[in-house]
Amino acid sequence: MLVLALGSCTVERQVSLTFGSDGEGLDGFMCKDPAGQFLLDRAKDGDGGVRTGALVVDFVRLGGVPGCRTGQLVKWCSTHECKPLRQARGCVPVTLPTVTPMMPREALRASVLSAMRQVQNTGVLDDAPDEFVIVRLVGSLESCEALTAKPEAVELPNFDKAQLLGCAYSCPVLLDRVDQDVYLGFETLTVQCEQGVRICSDGQLQWQP
């Protein structure tokens, strides 16, 4: 379980974000690009090491309560503004695992889940938004400094699609009222799911070719 503290303006408590008991919600961090390379391997450097990336937590405003399937969200967001709340973005540095040859899927999932625990118990928001949002977690090789809005900026920076490592998101949720862990997952039927990661991380949750 990834635990991120979420304070509420009316109740002092925490809401935990989870990928499921066995990390089954982490499929969005196990995607390959069209060339068959894992997105996680983008973190490899030329010396055999691994570059530090960032985990970005966004709270995406929906303007209503759509379904949480990818197709439902994309259709909804084509006629509604679905942008992450500028003041609510959280970001923590993280080193995600790269993939070794012939690595079993279960082992990769366990490695990613272990890496997520680097940021366990990290607080990301003091006052939960009082509206329905989806909670989105994006892995990127960009730095937290690059992905955090500057004081003079009107909107949050967009993600560099070429530096994405993975993505997961929740169903629409009203955080001030939730009484259980918020599950983050990723909808895919194939490991060739880089397109889905680009959709998931998009600033307006728009369809990506």
- Identify which of 161, 198, 175 has the alpha carbon closest to the alpha carbon of residue 124: 175
pTM for the model stands at: 0.91
Residue 44 falls inside a structural domain: yes
The answer to whether the beta carbons of residues 186 and 139 sit under 8 Å apart is no
Integer Cα distance of 155 and 46 in angstroms: 34
In-domain check, residue 35: yes
Per residue of the chain (209 residues), give pLDDT as tens.
Answer: 444 444 444 555 577 888 988 889 999 999 999 999 999 999 998 777 899 999 999 999 999 999 999 999 999 999 999 999 988 888 989 999 988 888 898 999 999 998 888 776 665 566 677 889 999 999 999 999 999 988 888 889 999 999 999 999 999 998 878 778 889 999 987 888 999 999 999 999 999 98
Which pLDDT value is given to residue 116?
86
Please report the pLDDT score of residue 184 as a whole number. Answer: 93
> Which residues does 86 contact at the CB level (< 8 Å), separation at least 6?
149, 154, 155, 156
Evaluate whether residue 116 is within a structural domain.
yes
**207 in a structural domain:** no
Note whether residue 206 is domain-resident.
no
Which amino acid appears at position 24 of this protein?
E
Q: How many domains does the chain have?
A: 1
* Range 70-73, long-range pairs (CB < 8 A, 24+ positions): 70/187, 70/196, 70/199, 70/200, 73/134, 73/205
CB 28 within 8 A of CB 186: yes
Is 87 inside a domain boundary?
A: yes
- pLDDT, position 111: 92
Q: pLDDT value at position 8?
A: 45
Provide the residue range defining the domain that includes 131.
Answer: 4-201
Confirm whether 209 is domain-assigned.
no
Helices (H), 27-132: 70-77, 105-116
The pLDDT of residue 173: 92
Q: Is residue 183 part of a domain?
A: yes
Alpha carbon distance 56, 166 (integer Å):
11
| Neighbour-count burial for 181-193, b at 16+ CB within 10 Å, e otherwise | ebbbbbbbeeeeb
